[in-house]
Amino acid sequence: MKIERLEEPVKVRADFAGGEITPLAFRRRHDTYNVERVNCRWKDRQGEEISYFFSVQVGGDIYEIRLRQTDMTWWVERVILDG
């Protein structure tokens, strides 16, 4: 298992239904990653900024993605690579 810190902006397709955010897929560089499962979700506040975090499964890899509420931008924070 290898952990890589990425901190890159990404484009995310998400469902905003029932008061809950569910990432469905994200585009990083020229590749699209389909989310197979949301492992967990949490919210964090730093001063006035609120961010929504998601741990998502893509194949054997786990990505941590974040939605910043202040500017509604998505970021991929890190990846845990399988094998």
Q: CA 31, 37, 40 angle in degrees (round to 5)?
A: 110
Whole-model pTM: value is 0.92
* Tens of pLDDT, residues 44-73: 999 889 999 999 999 999 999 999 999 999
Residues 12-54 pLDDT 10s: 999 999 999 999 999 998 999 999 999 999 999 998 899 999 9
Q: Report the C-alpha gap between 78 and 47 in whole angstroms.
A: 23
| Cβ contact 26:11 at 8 Å | yes
